[in-house]
Chains A and B, each alone.
Chain A
Amino acid sequence: MDGHEVAIRMRDLRKVFTRDKTKVIAVDDFDLDIRAGELVCLLGPSGCGKTTVLRMVAGLERKTAGELEVAGKNVTSPGSERGMVFQEFALFPWRTVRKNIEFGLEVKGVPESERSKTSSQLIELVGLKGFEDAHPKELSGGMKQRAGIARALANEPAVLLMDEPFGSLDAQTRNLMQKELLRIWSATGKTILFVTHSVDEAVFLADRIVVMTARPGKVREDIHVGLPRPRDRTSREFIEVRGKVLAELDEEFEKARAKELSPD
């Protein structure tokens, strides 16, 4: 990969949910290209359909119309070339950390010796050494998400889809995990599509921040952050970008609120 090839391609992507016989357009006219190796944050007011976009890329939701390709292939169902990390971790409670990480390899039929080699490397990578045999219940939130990331990486996906992965962590752990994610990202070179509602998180992590409109979700603004890493949250440049993104988001938030107050 030369770093310029398109990993995820979305054109006129559309998703319509039918609830109680009324149609809700969650995502409409959604256009976005994500290049291989990029870290892109999807940001938007709650209910704007950012998670829906991510779930469509994962293959967990079917698109209603439009084009959606990952590595040049049309997405119709989940696949091991796309790993997903969930906000509530979604670890199998009856499996140890190691067994959680090996799940994808197990269903692929990878022999045990190879599985444990891969899981050992990943345990090392995400910093869970010494907790291989712990069950999720015994782990803190941050450690659970480390296991969640390692599990998604075990299949060696080209794309990592992250759905507000640090949303349920406390502020300190959250900041630490953001740094850890950047470390893991630079060690693995994955393409990452990261959904968040935190402007601060997006500016800290992303190459590009895609701000979505209020429902139906479209791309409102595609912002190249362009700050060198490691980023300093207190620097003037950081605060500038943060202010710009926040202004965009505020406008959409107001629109969403106005719509809520006066439904058509």
Chain B
Amino acid sequence: MTGPSETPSLLQRFAASGWFRYFLYSVSIVLFVGMWHALSWRLNETDPVLATYIPYPVDVAKAFIASFSSPIPGPDVYIWTLISASLKRVLLGFAIALAIALPIGLLMGAFKTVECLGKPVVELIRPIPPIAWAPVFLFAFKAFWGPIAVVFVGAFFPLLINIIFGVRSVDPMLIDAARTLGANKRHLFTKVIVPSTLPYLMTGVKVALGIAWMCIVAAEMLPVRGGGGLGYAIWTITDIGRWDYIFAIMLFIGILSILTTGLAGEFERRVYKWMGMK
């Protein structure tokens, strides 16, 4: 035990510094990769058939790096083509969901009548997993628009629910204040309710983007193919059994999801700053 009068040891100073956090992050990754490696190794010893599905982390890393410079075996296209196909669908589906959820959410939040009209349908459809819509959408809208429709369903509800909740959470005192200042119904809507709802909308955007990525990959894997994308690639590679590439693409999906959500987070910070709320 060191007394309070003694100067802190190198270890203590390290623990107190900001670098310690990054050190722990690295430990987390190293431990995870280590356990993964141990699992692959153990399987190779005991069950070589099962082991082919769990490649070594180093092989996945090699596949990941190789993807930057050469086409992915199986679908035989570059990773950028796959990413842009999926990204395009995610953003389109998300944008359509936002464009429709925004007016409906604002109206449902603000007017009891609209809420009662919409609520039963929303509550009926909301619990259905978005991917359950995939067969209908893929046959109806084909390989490009089908997955977009699945993304739309996945992103729509978190956006809608957050917008409705945001409108409900408007401080009634701000409504009172605006009314005493001469605001009419339209002013209340545009100048009080909409800005109050913005932070809740941003929460919805972040949740919806995460769900959009889950939807797109699942939808692209389904048997109506031809549209390309990361999900399609994963399923196609199974034909040639390059599990190292499958894991590499999974890694790309995770990173892309982090990036889009991070971008939304950065946008959220700017909106807050612009609104003077942080």
Residues of A within 8 A of B (CB): 58-60, 77-80, 82-84, 86, 88, 90-96, 103-104, 106-108, 135-138, 151-152, 154-155, 161
User: Which A residue's beta carbon lies closest to that of B196?
Assistant: A94
Nearest Cβ in chain B — how far from A53, in angstroms? Answer: 15
- Given the complex, which residues of B lie within 8 Å of A94, measured CB to CB? 195, 198, 275-277
Contact assessment for A137 and B177 in the assembled complex, using a CB-CB cutoff below 8 Å: no
Contact assessment for A86 and B176 in the assembled complex, using a CB-CB cutoff below 8 Å: yes
22 A-B pairs with C-beta separation under 8 A: A58-B176, A59-B179, A60-B179, A78-B179, A83-B180, A83-B181, A84-B180, A86-B173, A88-B173, A94-B276, A94-B277, A103-B178, A103-B183, A104-B182, A107-B182, A107-B187, A135-B277, A137-B276, A151-B181, A152-B180, A152-B181, A155-B182
Nearest Cβ in chain B — how far from A79, in angstroms? Answer: 7
Q: Mark B250-275, 1 if CB is under 8 A from A, else 0.
A: 00000000000000000000000001
- A84-B177, A90-B174 are known contacts. Are A107 and B276 too (CB-CB below 8 A)? no
Contact assessment for A108 and B276 in the assembled complex, using a CB-CB cutoff below 8 Å: no
Bound-complex Cα distance A79 to B179 (A): 8
Say whether B161 faces chain A, with CB atoms less than 8 Å apart: no
Say whether B88 faces chain A, with CB atoms less than 8 Å apart: no
- Given the complex, which residues of A lie within 8 Å of B184, measured CB to CB? 107
Nearest Cβ in chain A — how far from B61, in angstroms? Answer: 46
Interchain CB contact (< 8 A) of A103 among B176, B181, B198, B277: B181
- Given the complex, which residues of B lie within 8 Å of A151, measured CB to CB? 177, 181
Nearest Cβ in chain B — how far from A109, in angstroms? Answer: 10
Contact assessment for B177 and A90 in the assembled complex, using a CB-CB cutoff below 8 Å: yes
Interchain CB contact (< 8 A) of B276 among A59, A90, A135, A154: A135
Say whether B191 faces chain A, with CB atoms less than 8 Å apart: yes
- Given the complex, which residues of B lie within 8 Å of A161, measured CB to CB? 180
Contact assessment for B182 and A108 in the assembled complex, using a CB-CB cutoff below 8 Å: yes
Q: Mark B153-192, 1 if CB is under 8 A from A, else 0.
A: 0000000000000000001011011111111100100011
- A86-B173, A88-B173, A90-B177 are known contacts. Are A95 and B276 too (CB-CB below 8 A)? yes
- A96-B276, A103-B191 are known contacts. Are A90 and B176 too (CB-CB below 8 A)? yes
- Given the complex, which residues of A lie within 8 Å of B277, measured CB to CB? 93-94, 135, 137
- Given the complex, which residues of B lie within 8 Å of A106, measured CB to CB? 191
User: Which B residue's beta carbon lies closest to that of A78?
Assistant: B179
Interchain CB contact (< 8 A) of B181 among A88, A107, A137: A107
Bound-complex Cα distance A36 to B177 (A): 23
- Given the complex, which residues of B lie within 8 Å of A77, measured CB to CB? 179
Nearest Cβ in chain A — how far from B202, in angstroms? Answer: 13
Which of the listed residues A60, A86, A90 has the most CB atoms from chain B within 10 Å of its own CB? A90
User: Which B residue's beta carbon lies closest to that of A77?
Assistant: B179
Contact assessment for B173 and A92 in the assembled complex, using a CB-CB cutoff below 8 Å: no
Interchain CB contact (< 8 A) of B176 among A60, A83, A135, A138: A60
- Given the complex, which residues of B lie within 8 Å of A59, measured CB to CB? 179-180
- A107-B191, A135-B277 are known contacts. Are A155 and B173 too (CB-CB below 8 A)? no
The 8 closest A-B pairs by CB, nearest first: A135-B276, A80-B182, A94-B275, A104-B181, A90-B177, A84-B180, A78-B179, A90-B173
Nearest Cβ in chain B — how far from A4, in angstroms? Answer: 27
- A86-B173, A107-B191 are known contacts. Are A93 and B180 too (CB-CB below 8 A)? no
Bound-complex Cα distance A201 to B192 (A): 33
